[in-house]
Amino acid sequence: RRVIFGIAALFLSIYFIIGLFSDGDKIQVPEGAALVFAPNGVITEQPTYVDPVDKALQEAMGNGGPAEESIYDLLEVLRNAKEDDRITTLAIMPEGIMSIQPAMMEMLRDGIEDFKQSEKKVIAMGDFYTQQQYHIAAQADEVYLHPFGGILLEGYSRVRTYFAELLENLKVTPN
């Protein structure tokens, strides 16, 4: 009885180890495919550390914060797509980007420009673009916008400077 149990445990252990190290189902990419490039959430250099227990509790209560994606992971996706001959088009859908810093927008722009060096087509699609999203979409060869959509361009500095108290303290009068 112990021998049978030992053999069964050995086979179960081997099966479990093979399952851990197997690739499983690989994604099949057909020839002439388009890569849908749709970053989601806050684009960061390094995702914020969140305690796994706290994260699980927040998600269970529906209070999970915005998703975070690493700029370096996004750039790696673009590099891999550039080298993959099965991918002929990059379809950018930037509407999921909630926040991205200007330096990272430039990095992403350079990554898209590098992808375009492979002479593959780049298109952008969306219903509505913020300024940051449109900056990414504008790198495409063609930009498609929903007929009832829009683009919100605010500029980078829209805070009104107000020096009233400073001018009063310095006893300076404008005009």
**Rounded to two decimals, what is the model's pTM?**
0.70
Q: What is the 3-state secondary structure (H, E, C) of 110-138?
A: HHHHHHHCCCCEEEEEEEEEEHHHHHHHC
Name the band, by pLDDT with cuts 50, 70 and 90, for residue 175: low
Q: What is the pLDDT of residue 48?
A: 81
Q: What is the pLDDT of residue 81?
A: 93
Neighbour-count burial of 171, counting CB atoms closer than 10 A to its CB (0-12 exposed, 13-18 middle, 19+ buried): exposed
Q: What is the pLDDT of residue 146?
A: 92
**Which distant-in-sequence residues (6+ apart) come within 8 Å of 1 by Cβ?**
none
